[in-house]
Amino acid sequence: MSGHAVTRIGRQADAVFARLSRSYRRALERTLAGPRKVVAVLAVLFEISLPLYTQVRVAFFPRTDASQFMINLKAQSGTRLEITESQVRSVEGLIRQAVAPADLDVILSNIGVTPGFSSIYTSNSAQHTAFIQVNLREDHKTGSYEYMASLRDRLRAAMPQLTA
């Protein structure tokens, strides 16, 4: 490329940049001259766009099946550890009913933590709380989200005294 061509391209780029700069300056001046009008226009545009929100099918993090899920349980405050343990056993039974034996790998339950400094690192912070982790086999046929929905309904029906 010759020096003359480079100079010509540089001048054209400068002209485009100058036009953009002038357009931006005019838009900025109009915006600053009528801030209420700008806010009103933006509010109208926002309201018009709200119905479109339900049509958007994009997620920042697509839903994936991790082959596991966790259930956080909470009994009535002050429930003794033995009662919480019995309720967790019942929930484990519901899990075994809901999850196909061929899909179930491991159920791990953790019940209550003695209140103190260590309890700040877990949602399981007292004798009336527990969590149950359910791991599915790698080749499970039914998805984790289907099992979670099924268990959510079963827990509400069978054990309404628990928050899950």
Q: What is the pTM of this model?
A: 0.59
85 lies in the same domain as 136: yes
112 lies in the same domain as 149: yes
Give the number of domains in the chain: 2
Question: pLDDT by residue (tens digit) across 79-102?
Answer: 888 998 999 999 999 999 999 999
Of 143, 133, 127, the residue nearest 92 (C-alpha): 133
40 lies in the same domain as 72: no
Least confident of 31-45, 101-115, 142-156: 101-115
The pLDDT, as a whole number, for residue 55 is 78
Q: Which residue has the higher pLDDT, 115 or 140?
A: 140
Q: According to the 3-state scheme, what is the secondary structure of the chain?
A: CCHHHHHHHHHHHHHHHHHHHHHHHHHHHHHHHCHHHHHHHHHHHHHHHHHHHCCCCCCCCCCCCCCEEEEEEECCCCCCHHHHHHHHHHHHHHHHHHCCCCCEEEEEEEECCCCCHHHHHCCCCCCCEEEEEEEECCCCCCCHHHHHHHHHHHHHHHCCCCEC
150 lies in the same domain as 83: yes
Question: pLDDT by residue (tens digit) across 33-69?
Answer: 988 999 999 999 999 998 888 877 776 777 788 899 9
41 lies in the same domain as 90: no
80 lies in the same domain as 135: yes
Q: Give the pair of three-digit tokens for residue 27.
A: 């838009």
Residue 120 has pLDDT above 80, yes or no: no
118 lies in the same domain as 72: yes
Asked if 94 and 155 count as a contact pair (C-beta separation under 8 A), the reply is yes
| 59 lies in some domain | no
The pLDDT, as a whole number, for residue 42 is 93
Residue 30 identity (one-letter amino acid): R
Asked if 137 and 104 count as a contact pair (C-beta separation under 8 A), the reply is yes
Q: Which CATH number does the domain housing residue 150 bear? A: 3.30.70
154 lies in the same domain as 95: yes
| 21 lies in some domain | yes
Residue 114 has pLDDT above 60, yes or no: no
Residue 123 has pLDDT above 70, yes or no: no
Question: pLDDT by residue (tens digit) across 128-137?
Answer: 888 899 999 9
pLDDT confidence tier of residue 24, bands split at 50, 70 and 90? very high
Of 87, 59, 68, the residue nearest 148 (C-alpha): 68
pLDDT confidence tier of residue 8, bands split at 50, 70 and 90? confident
| 61 lies in some domain | no
As a whole number, mean pLDDT of residues 101-123 equals 76
Domain ranges, residue 93: 68-158
78 lies in the same domain as 40: no
108 lies in the same domain as 137: yes
Crossing angle of helices 35-53 and 3-33, rounded to 10°: 100
